[in-house]
Amino acid sequence: MTTTSLTDSQRVVVTGLGATTPLGGDVPSTWQALLAGKSGVAVLTQDWVESLPVHIAASAAVDPSETLERVEVKRNDRSGQFALVASREAWADAGSPDIDGDRLGVVIATGIGGVLTTLANYDLLREKGARRVHPLAVPMLMPNSAAAHVGLDLGARAGVHTPVSACASGAEAVSYAVDMIRGGRADIVVAGGTEAAIHPLNMAAFAQMQALSTRNDEPERASRPYDKGRDGFVLGEGAGVLVLETLEHARARGATVYAEIAGAGITSDAHHIAAPDPVGRGATRAMQFALKAAGLAPEQIAHINAHATSTPTGDVAEAKAIAGVLGDAVGTPCVSATKSMTGHLLGAAGAIETIFTVLALRERTAPPSVNLDDPDDEVRLDVVRGEPRRLPDGPLAALNNSFGFGGHNVALAVRSVDQ
């Protein structure tokens, strides 16, 4: 199964992981909490919550001010702070590679960008006047701010990019990084996604779309993908970042290789600005393209980290698309819906779920989905419920799906790599 037409100079592998999430301030703590089935969702304590229909969210487990310098906190939007924390962990995990900055790239995606900075400065403008607007507001609120700050931090001069495709952004960043490396633009790319959008305006706006769960009395049970009682997603925040390079480059410097990003499929629905295509045509094509790019057959997929946000329509559309792509092999992969624990990190979701997919293959353990008490009759998938599931011995492959408002579909194929 690990045979591929690509050479080691074309195969792009993961050599470093970093994250800060509602489950933990780094990758090890997040992964352990995920395997333990812990929820990162809680009732918000901010006083503005009472005026909203939704009182719950998945806030970061560790505030970035606990690890960053005070000036770094002041000069970065919260989304940039998360990105710095995660990228530094990923870079250290990759062994802090000795690389010419001209050959180092950064791709940090976001769904909304520096929206907390935008809104805080609008408050300042209205309450105190134009003179009180922060002189660094623009470089903090611009969507590429997090990527640019990470690029500055690492000295990356091969290009700094910010894909924006709503909740598919983080996965699109990983795909973009693969293209940068295969295209010869960079030897190493630091790629991922970040989001910090827990604010009454954003929550009111998502709530007006009927997109958020209102299970305010049971926050830990609010995110329940595939369950009949699901009533929307839970907003989360944080960042996930991966270090990517070719297998040849990784081996030449003696790096630890987690897994290979074997293929990516990106499509668009052209169906509706926010609603998913009811039969998931765009999602289907994305998965098919990812499998083809990776040279994988459906029966070779042992695990899927689904997009599965816990919305009534989205979960079923994706489940149908997965079933259609896998055909007779629909029962083979075990499916994890990790947003049941992390909540939905929007532009960071695709990145942290790529990390989860990579770790699932590396550790041969699929994380559980929680709160799936009464499965939706339309979902014909083998969902990992309650406890983690051991994956088979031998070479492994997996899919990670990410979809976003606007009709964005990204599927990534991940494959184990022999050490």
Partner 1 sequence: MAASEQEILEGLAEIVNEETGIPTSDVQPDKSFTDDLDIDSLSMMTIVVNAEEKFGVRIPDDDVKGLSTVGDAVSYIQKASS
Dist CA 410 CA 182 (whole Å): 18
Dist CA 60 CA 23 (whole Å): 7
Per-residue x/- track, 93-122, partner 1 (CB under 8 A):
------------------------------
Taking the least distance from each CB to partner 1, the nearer of 146 and 262 is: 146
**β-strand 12-20 against 259-268: which pairing, if any?**
antiparallel
Asked if 64 touches partner 1 (CB under 8 A), the answer is no
Smallest distance from partner 1 to CB 128, Å: 8
Q: Count other Cβ atoms within 10 Å, centred on residue 47.
A: 8
Size of the site for partner 1 (CB under 8 A): 10
Contact 324, 280 (CB under 8 A): yes
149 a catalytic residue: no
Q: What are the beta bridge partners of residue 414?
A: 261, 398
408 a catalytic residue: no
Structure tokens at 19: 């994250």
Contact 271, 51 (CB under 8 A): no
Asked if 136 touches partner 1 (CB under 8 A), the answer is yes
Asked if 390 touches partner 1 (CB under 8 A), the answer is no
Smallest distance from partner 1 to CB 130, Å: 11
Q: What string of DSSP letters covers 226-279?
A: TBTT---B-BB-EEEEEEEEEHHHHHHTT----EEEEEEEEEE--S-SSSPPTT
Taking the least distance from each CB to partner 1, the nearer of 135 and 184 is: 135
Nearest to 224 by CA among 338, 305, 356: 338
Taking the least distance from each CB to partner 1, the nearer of 137 and 308 is: 137
Structure tokens at 266: 């990106």
Asked if 69 touches partner 1 (CB under 8 A), the answer is yes
Smallest distance from partner 1 to CB 110, Å: 22
Asked if 126 touches partner 1 (CB under 8 A), the answer is no
Catalytic residue among 167, 199, 249, 334: 167
Catalytic residue among 55, 161, 249, 307: 307
Asked if 70 touches partner 1 (CB under 8 A), the answer is yes
307 a catalytic residue: yes
Asked if 132 touches partner 1 (CB under 8 A), the answer is yes
Query: Interface with partner 1 by CB under 8 A: which range of 134-142, 161-169, 185-193, 395-403?
Result: 134-142
Q: Which residue has the tokens 């925040």?
A: 237
Asked if 71 touches partner 1 (CB under 8 A), the answer is yes
Contact 87, 238 (CB under 8 A): no
Q: Which residues bind partner 1 (CB under 8 A)?
A: 69-71, 74, 131-132, 134-136, 139
Query: Catalytic positions, please?
Result: 167, 307, 344
